[in-house]
Amino acid sequence: MKSTVVRSPWLALALVLSLCLSLSFASWDAEDVGRGSRRWQEGGDDEGRSGSGSGRPYHFGEESFREWAKSRHGHFKVLERFDHELLRGSIGDYRVACLDAAPRAFLQPSHYDADEIAFVREGEGVLVLLRNGKRESFCVREGDVFVIPAGSIVYSANTHRSKWFRVVMLLNPVSTPGSFQEFSPIGFGGEQPQSFFSVFSDEVIQAAFNTRQREDVDRVFQRKSRGEGPISEGSEEQIRELSRSCSRGGRGGGGGSGSEKEDIQPRSLTGEKPRYSNKHGRFHQITGDQCHHLRKLDMDVTLVNITRGSMTALRYATRSTRIYIVVEGRDGYFEMACPHVSSFGRSERREHEQEREREHGHGRRSEEREREHGQGRRSEERKDEQGRQEEEQGRGQEQEKSRGYRQVRAQIKVGSVIVLPAGHPATFVAGNEGNLALLSFGVGANNDEEVFVTGGNSVLKQLDDAAKALAFPQQARELADRVIRAQPESVFVAGPQQQRRVADM
């Protein structure tokens, strides 16, 4: 890795988790999150909410997941929406989810109105897709990445006798941004999902199935009580039968060409040669170049595996927003420089005052509309002066040149989700207990580049002499060269503790 700019390196996303909260899915969607971020804006770090320290709105702990489906044999959990105004514009349409399936668990056929990109973080399974008039069956195992195109009917099973099958995924809803639904032909009793057939009228069902007996259709597709719901258990024999004809993509990300089927073949992210590795860590990546489907979705998937006690060099991505999920490690942390957050308290207070005035004046509606319009990427492009003027005009319009940065930092462990927006310098540090591995989904990754600002491939090494003479004080010029060149390692470097040991010698 000689070049100063490494093409979209690592990351990948991942989710993970293990605890489950019993709140209902619907309740957290908008309201809770909105209130949560307001609290954060007012009170600075939101210690109480995340439990594992600050880092909002860029860090989410396990408690930010809600159960979507649950049984004795496994559960499917979904992360709250990326609803904060600093995230909504780039990743607000996406959802992170995790599936944990017990040995021999079977997931009933259904389809989602979302594309899914998934990473197998543990175990093995079989995945069957019904689409394009065909049935395609894939074996997947630890380290694989696979894609489930929106609308494919899919069913799957954990094929291992004793290990859990754990998958983390990113969903990109195709009809309602930031919100997806599951559609099940087969329904279950009680609180469990209904069959979508059950809502059609008798005459329609009878005509559609060419039967006189609505009851027959109901008996097949809408169970009254038996069955455990969407996640049940198969016998060893049944699971074996299900996986008998499953195929595997080649190890390694090979050929992007070929049929649609090849395109959704699972690929091993960790099995192929890493894009970069040294004794401090490794990163693996699958981009749109290797997988046509990822290119279409403007995404990539990476895995950063940081050796115990090491860290990543300070870096930022040029265009992608990266959603990381910690898939291994108990005692790491991340730090990021964030310009927005540092000016937040101020403008938020101001908005508050305006809001109070407004409460006696015109209604909430227009305020919300303004909020919708004023945020997201667009506002980042605004120039200083213009921004200041607009700030006077109302809520959500504030955009001042940031005169400082705030440190965003949080302890992270398996199950944590971290968002690194484009342009924001950041690092991950592995603790002393073991490796820290993060899966990341890069959103907006097609023309992305990873830029390092420290280390052997630091972009700062490219400053020319004339620029250095102008940029650094005369007395500090030589020092500047030494400082910029002192770190010989690239991408992964010794962490704070290791470094201290070296310096002491």
Q: Helix/strand/coil (H, E, C) string of 309-340?
A: CEEECCEEECCCEEEEEEEECCCEEEEEEEHH
Task: Please say which residue, 107 or 417, places its beta carbon nearer to ligand NAG.
Answer: 417
Q: Phi and psi (nearest 5°) for 75?
A: -150, 160
Task: Please say which residue, 129 or 417, places its beta carbon nearer to ligand NAG.
Answer: 417
Q: What is the DSSP string of 333-397?
A: EEEEEEHHHHHHHHHHHHHHHHHHHHHHSS-HHHHHHHHHHH-SHHHHT--HHHHHHHHHH-TT-
CA 194/CA 221 separation, integer angstroms: 9
| Contact indicator for 229, 192 with CB cutoff of 8 Å | yes
Task: Please say which residue, 242 or 306, places its beta carbon nearer to ligand NAG.
Answer: 306
Closest approach, Cβ 167 to ligand NAG, in A, equals 13
CA 4/CA 467 separation, integer angstroms: 18
Closest approach, Cβ 244 to ligand NAG, in A, equals 29
- Contacts of residue 220, Cβ cutoff 8 Å, sequence gap at least 6: none
Q: Phi and psi (nearest 5°) for 298?
A: 60, 45
Closest approach, Cβ 439 to ligand NAG, in A, equals 8
Q: Phi and psi (nearest 5°) for 142?
A: -40, 130
Closest approach, Cβ 234 to ligand NAG, in A, equals 28
Q: Phi and psi (nearest 5°) for 153?
A: -80, 130
Closest approach, Cβ 456 to ligand NAG, in A, equals 22
Task: Please say which residue, 36 or 266, places its beta carbon nearer to ligand NAG.
Answer: 266
Closest approach, Cβ 304 to ligand NAG, in A, equals 9
Q: Which two tokens stand for residue 377?
A: 């990427």
Distances (CA, A) of 274 to 269, 300, 388: 9, 15, 46
Task: Please say which residue, 270 or 402, places its beta carbon nearer to ligand NAG.
Answer: 270
Task: Please say which residue, 41 or 305, places its beta carbon nearer to ligand NAG.
Answer: 305
Q: How many CA atoms lie within 13 A of 10 on its CB side?
A: 30
Task: Please say which residue, 177 or 271, places its beta carbon nearer to ligand NAG.
Answer: 271
Task: Please say which residue, 110 or 312, places its beta carbon nearer to ligand NAG.
Answer: 312
Closest approach, Cβ 443 to ligand NAG, in A, equals 21
Closest CA to 416 of 428, 425, 399, 400: 428
Task: Please say which residue, 327 or 410, places its beta carbon nearer to ligand NAG.
Answer: 327
Closest approach, Cβ 329 to ligand NAG, in A, equals 9
- Contacts of residue 71, Cβ cutoff 8 Å, sequence gap at least 6: 228, 229, 230, 231, 232
Task: Please say which residue, 13 or 69, places its beta carbon nearer to ligand NAG.
Answer: 13
Closest approach, Cβ 473 to ligand NAG, in A, equals 43
Contact footprint for ligand NAG (CB under 6 A): 270, 305, 327-328, 435, 437
As a whole number of Å, the CA-based R_g of the chain is 25
CA 24/CA 39 separation, integer angstroms: 22
CA 4/CA 449 separation, integer angstroms: 10
Closest approach, Cβ 416 to ligand NAG, in A, equals 14
Distance of CA 205 to the CA centre of its chain: 40
Q: Are β-strands 124-131 and 134-141 bridged in parallel, bridged antiparallel, or unpaired?
A: antiparallel
